[in-house]
Amino acid sequence: MKIQPTEFKVLIKPDKVDSQTSGGLFLPETVRDKQQFSVDRGEIIATGNGFFQDIPGPIPEIGDKVIFNRYAGTLITVDEENGRVDYRICNDKDICAILEE
């Protein structure tokens, strides 16, 4: 399934939440699902046609790692060949920074 955002929307693949804490405790799936919604970093997968049109400054591109507003947008889950994948669709204004390595 291909997801193509419209207008000024952006499709982001959020970083995954670890299944284990730093102390070695395993997190139940229900806790991981709640924490996944609060992730604020990810990779841009696709953008709509109006993406960052009227916003000055650096413009992120597909494949860039970004920081976005913590509870922004809609979290969706898609079944793909290699399992379930979480994505987030949010507005371009919800992107706060581009991460450079």
Q: Is the pLDDT of residue 37 over 70?
A: no
* Burial grade of 23 (CB within 10 A; 0-12, 13-18, 19 or more): exposed
pLDDT of residue 83: 83
* 9-99 classified as CATH 2.30.33.40: yes
Q: Are strands 83-91 and 74-80 parallel, antiparallel or unpaired?
A: antiparallel
Give the mean pLDDT of 71-84. 86
39 close to 17: Cβ distance less than 8 angstroms: yes
Q: Whole-model pTM above 0.85?
A: no
* Beta-bridge partners for 90: 10
